[in-house]
Structure 1
Amino acid sequence: MRIALSVLFLATQVTANAAFAQTAAEREACQSDYEKFCKGVEQGGGRIIKCLNDHLSDLTPQCQKVVKENTPQ
Structure 2
Amino acid sequence: MSKLSFVAIALALAFSGGASAQSSDPRGACKTDYDKFCAGIAPGGGRVVACLDGKRDQLSATCKAALDNRKQK
Q: TM-score, normalised by structure 1?
A: 0.62
Q: Provide structure 1 residue ranges, at least 5 long, that are not aligned to the other structure.
A: 1-18
Q: 2:15 aligns with which of 20, 44, 60?
A: 20
Structure 2: gaps of 5 or more residues: 1-13
When the two chains are superposed, the root-mean-square deviation of aligned CA atoms in Å is 2.2
Aligned length: 54
TM-score (norm 2): 0.62
Larger-Rg structure: 1
CA distance in 2, matches of 1:40, 1:71: 23
The structure whose residues are more often helix, as a share, is 1
Once residues 21 and 28 of structure 1 are traced to their aligned partners in structure 2, the CA distance between those partners, rounded to angstroms, is: 11
